[in-house]
Chains A and B, each alone.
Chain A
Amino acid sequence: MARAWKPGIRKRLGLVLLVLLASAAAPAADGRSAEAALAAVRETLDAAQATVEGEGSREEKLARLRELSRGFFDTDAMARAAMGEVLDRQSKPRRHEFLELWEEYVVRAYLQKLLFFRRPRFRYGRPIAGDHGFLVPTSIQTRHDAYSVDYMLRWRKDRGWLATDIVVEGMSLSHNLGAQLSSLLRRRGFEELLARLRRKVARHRSQEGA
């Protein structure tokens, strides 16, 4: 009797294993889906909205928003896209300093645009598949108008969906900054670029302090 059951049990065990494997693999597949990309943007913007409208001082809100943005942006990828090989040619400490300043600068630039809106109401469009990920179209609704802010998302194994570019009203942040940086690099070199970035970030910090 036991023998008679053996092939059936094996078959069923195999089926269960397959189901288990499939279900284990399913989150990974879902995590890279368009819905997951949209969810990543929505989650970040919802948290940003809650922060803006929630309790806390201006400094606390800014710190929280900065943390949120840092977790959402792949600023290293943005910097590499903007700077190309020039960045790789720099010494490790200088490259490190540039990436730190760049991150702070990009995050502040994005947040300050977002903070123009006192009570932002976000609308989400259907993600559009691209070569390296998804473009998630969103808009900020105001009483008189809507402002488009699209997020270019790329999947990173270790960190999930990250924004590698933000397109505000048709203007790509990475592209715009990259073009300006390239021009400055050509004219003045990396050292001057780094110095200006230092000054700009310092000015941002002092304005924030004031």
Chain B
Amino acid sequence: MRAALAIARKDLQLVLRDPAALLFTLIVPVVVITIVAASLSGTDAALSIRLPVVNEDQGPVARVLLEALSTHLQVEEVERSRAIQMVAAEKRAAAALVLPKHLSKRYLGDRPSTLTLLTDPAKGSELETIQALLLVAERDAEAIADPFSDPLLRVEEQSLTGSRLTTTSFEQNIPGFSVMFVLMGTLFGIAFTFDDERNWNTGMRLRVAPIRRASLLGGKLLARYGIGLAQMVILFVFGHLAFGLPLGSSPLAFGLMAAAVVFSMVGFGLFVAGFARSREQIIPLGLTVVMIVCSIGGCWWPVYVEPPWLQRAAHFFLTAWSMDGLLDLILRERGLLEVWPTLLVLFGYGSIGLAAGAWLQRFEPR
């Protein structure tokens, strides 16, 4: 017993010798729990959903419908062109509702009308919420409709961002978890590589060898980049074959996007690895960072379900941009011409990460 206690005391002393590692071990669950709680609760999810409305009617029935919808959603009356821009280009809304001309006149005269819902099916769950709330609003407004006739309001959906009107959960989850695992592998891979160099003192030997520091760093990162890219492609091909995950209409765009995503991960991984001074620090630091950027960045759930402030914060991280780009290709069937701004951001992110990470990285033995 005494021996066991002595060993325990020695191990505790070893752990306490690295307070940074201890701190990370403690703060990981606190930070992750806080972020998950902030993302998934605390606000009425539906109330943060924006619904642009093109009110071509301007009549009393449209007003009642809008009032009913406003109790559940952020309703904004806009012009048709602005509504299309908000849904298709800016991705600020999952759908826009068009209330046609003479809706009130037809409704009051007991003649049916068709409302058009211009959708972005890539925002699946948000779209489902809007559809359900629209049904409630219709029922509210249709309290006058009699039990014998057909409904006076019909909703017709038109996708603005692709050929499909619905998406599956695989199409959100497979890209999300693929990004997470590739990021995890890349970040830990880079951090452990440099830690090994420190522990084995090989870093010192390499520094005196006749090769430039940039070549040394570049070679190590290139290997990690190749592994990450292969992992990413394999995961998506598996998703495609096993779960029917679409890979978009342009293989070139998909290839470039995967390359950009992994490049940003390598830069980010090098940067984060620069903060870890020991193996004990790498694991909690890496886990904290990966969990935070993946949860906020839309790998675990869509970014649009988060509160607006967190959605804005999400785009400080590579994961939000990666998910935007991949979902643009997969769900919105966009081509290279439409996703190039995201590619630029990801390559830029990776470049800045590499520069900052190279500066932070040290090869000196401890």
Contacts of A176 in B (CB 8 A): 110, 149
Closest to B101 in A: A145
Please name the residue on chain B nearest to A177 by beta carbon.
B146
Interchain CB contact under 8 A, B147 and A200: yes
- Let me know if A47 is at the binding interface, CB within 8 A: no
Contact A168 B61 (CB under 8 A): no
Q: Are B60 and A184 in contact (CB under 8 A)?
A: no
In the complex, chain A residues whose CB is within 8 Å of the CB of B60: 116-118, 142, 147
What is the interface residue range for chain B against chain A?
A: 10 to 19
Distance from B345 Cβ to chain A, minimum over Cβ atoms (Å): 44
Q: Complex Cα distance A105/B145, Å?
A: 11
Question: B58 touching A144 by the CB < 8 A rule?
Answer: yes
Residues of chain B within 8 A of A118, CB atoms compared: 60, 63
Q: With an 8 A cutoff between CB atoms, is B108 at the interface?
A: yes
Pair B147/A145 contact, Cβ less than 8 Å: no
The tally of CB-CB contacts under 8 A between chains A and B is 60
Residue of B nearest to A193 (CB): B148
A180 CB within 8 Å of chain B? yes
Judge if B104 is at the interface, Cβ distance under 8 Å.
yes
Q: Is the CB of A171 within 8 A of B64?
A: no
Task: Tell me if B104 and A145 are in contact (CB < 8 A).
Answer: yes
Contacts of A180 in B (CB 8 A): 146, 148-149
Residues from 148 to 177 in A contacting B, C-beta threshold 8 Å: 168-171, 176-177
The secondary-structure label for the interface of chain A is helix
Known A116-B104, A147-B104, A169-B108: A109·B59 in contact at CB below 8 Å: no
Cross-chain contact A171 with B147 (CB below 8 angstroms): no
Contact between chains at A168 and B108 (CB < 8 Å):
yes
Chain B residues in the interface with A (C-beta under 8 A): 58-61, 63-64, 104-106, 108-111, 143-144, 146-149
Query: Residues of A with Cβ closer than 8 Å to B?
Result: 105, 108-109, 112-113, 116-118, 142-145, 147, 168-171, 176-177, 180-181, 183-184, 196-197, 199-200, 204, 207
Pull 17 A–B residue pairs with CB atoms less than 8 Å apart, ordered by A.
A109-B144, A117-B60, A143-B58, A144-B58, A147-B104, A147-B105, A169-B106, A171-B109, A171-B110, A176-B149, A180-B146, A180-B148, A181-B148, A196-B147, A197-B147, A200-B146, A200-B147
